[in-house]
Structure formats: structure tokens, C-alpha cells
Amino acid sequence: MKDAATFHRDLISEHQRVAYEFRRLHHLPTTYRHWALQPSEIEDSKIINHIHELEFMLAAIDKKIHIACEAYNIAVCRQVSESLLQKLPRELRNLVYRYITTESVTVNDPNCDILRITQEEFPYFVNEPRSKRDPLCWSHFWRDDVLGKQFAIELVESWYRYTKFNFSRRLGSMPQYFLHQDRFNMGLHPHALVTDITKSIAVNHLFCKSAEVRERVAQDLELFSCLCPKAKLQVKLYWQLTVNTMEGRNNMKEGLKSFTRPICLLKKVGIHVTVSLIEDTTWENRYELQHKEAMIQAWLSEVEAELQAT
């Protein structure tokens, strides 16, 4: 039977060995970890318990280090960002904000590979905006405690003002939510800040025979009338090969007529509206594409004439 001093000395020695093995196990590649000493190979129950305690202590220390590092980084980042940004005029600060945020966002389109904002997969409105769990704004730059409240508001204002927002071909209420609800809960009014929007419209919505569907398309466009003057609204028409017929041309003429009201409204409030047809690169449809583009230009001329008359 070992005396207490010898047992204590052996325990310390074993502790050092286990600590070394633990560190070696931690740093070795995964494929070689089975070489390291396993707890099942150690007979002394006290040492086995000590290994488990060591693992628990290391995990607890790692967690504390992670929390401390994040708190330190936030404090340093805020101090540096505030002292640096305060020295810059707003124009240069906007350049910084534009550099660290996205240039374009596709709204309500699950096929988007940039940032997907959908009501189904990634909710546009979240309970904790500007957090790590926010799929839209996961970056630390969005967080108030990192930038400071003043610069966080400026950054979000810049994001609204300089980001290009693309609305998909789907009909729905997404524009209404987007334009009138600030997802960052900062008291901002997105419709007064957003300056660049692209709205895509599928021709089967605009040029179908259903007056109800055409009216929904018109109402969707009229939602953008709340944008600030001189904002850009690009309307892109997605054409389909199935309507490259005389009936399709006639439906197009009728669709453009129902399109006149919202376009006139948007132009009257000072929004710069452009309407274009998505190009079909197939050779056999090039003539048909030119014909439809001519129809659109003729219709736009009629819209301008109507605006001048009123």
C-alpha cells in the first residue's frame, strides 16, 4: 500500500501525464487520435474522475474565454469605430457602410443566391434583429453594441438608401411590408429611404385574360408610389415562348393598357420608371423580341402623352 506522500506524488505525475496526453489528443489530427491514451486504459478510478474533471474544466474555461474574447472584441471595436467614424464626414461614412453591407437583395424569391428574404424559409421580420441568429444581418457590424446606436442607425439608413432591392415575379403583399415596416426596429421609414427597386413581372400575370390578375399586378406597382421622388423603379417583363403568337400579341396590347394607370401614377409623384423586356437570346425569337420591344416603346410614348395632357 502506498503512503499518502507517494500517492500524492504519483497523482501529480499522472496529472501531468494526463494533461500532456489531453493536449496531445486535442492537437493531433482526427485520424491519429486513437493513438492517444484512452480513459478506459487507466485503472485508477481517481485518475479517471480527474480526467473527466479536467475535460469539464477545460470546456468551462473555453466557454469563459469565448465570452471574454467577444466582450473584449465588442468593446475594442466600438471604441475604434466610434473614434474613427467621428472623424469622417457623413459622405465618407456612407462609403464605409456600403463597403461592409450587401449591394443587392432579392426579396421574396427562394431561388436567390445572395440574400433570401421570404415569408416561408427566411422570415423578413425576426424577434432579434442584428443578432447572430438573424439570417439577413448576421454580421457584427449590424449590432448596436458594436457600432454604437448612432452609427448603427446610419448604417441601416445607408443600407436602405444604396442597396438595390429586387422583387420577384410573385404576386403578394411583400412590397407593403417592406416599404412600411422597418425590420430593424429603429423607427426608420424604408419607403422614404429606398432609392433603387427592380420589380419583375411574369407576362402570364400581366397579359393573361383575367382582369382580376391584371388588377393585382397594377396594385402591386402602385404600392411603390410611396417611394421618395427621383427613386428608380425598373420594371422587367419576363416573356415566355408560349405566348409568341398573334393571340399573345393581342393580350400584350390589352395588358399594357391596364398597365398605364400605375405607371402614370408613379411618374406623377416623381419616380423614375423604366420598363424593359427580358431578352430572349434564341435566334428564332429575335424578330419577335424586336416586335414586342417596339410595342412597349409605342405604349410608353402614349403614357408620356397622357401625362403631358394631364
- The residue ranges of every structural domain in the chain are 4-66, 92-309
Of residues 102 and 222, the one with the higher pLDDT is 222
The pLDDT-based confidence of 31 (bands split at 50, 70, 90) is very low
For β-strands 232-238 and 116-117, DSSP reports them as unpaired
Judged against a pLDDT cut of 80, whether residue 40 lies above it is answered with no
What backbone phi and psi angles, to 5 degrees, belong to 195? -125, -5
Of residues 17 and 294, the one with the higher pLDDT is 294
Average pLDDT, the chain: 71
pLDDT of residue 227: 94
The b/e string for 236-260 (b: 16+ C-beta within 10 A; e otherwise) is bbebeeebbeeebeebbeebbebbb
Helical axes 45-85 vs 149-162, angle rounded to 10° = 70
156 burial (CB, 10 Å; 0-12 / 13-18 / 19+) is: buried
The pLDDT-based confidence of 204 (bands split at 50, 70, 90) is low
**From CA 275, how far away is CA 105, in angstroms rounded?**
20
Mean pLDDT to the nearest integer, 279-299? 68
What the block records as the C-alpha cell of 21 is 496526453
Judged against a pLDDT cut of 90, whether residue 97 lies above it is answered with no
Encoded amino acid at 165, one letter: F
Judged against a pLDDT cut of 60, whether residue 186 lies above it is answered with yes
**pLDDT tens sequence across 134-148:** 555 656 667 777 788
Q: 273 and 267 in contact (C-beta within 8 Å)?
A: yes
Whole-prediction pTM value? 0.68
Judged against a pLDDT cut of 90, whether residue 238 lies above it is answered with no
Q: Residue 4 to residues 1, 7, 18, 172: CA-CA distances in angstroms?
A: 9, 5, 20, 78
Of residues 17 and 30, the one with the higher pLDDT is 17
Most confident of 5-9, 18-22, 271-275, 297-301: 271-275
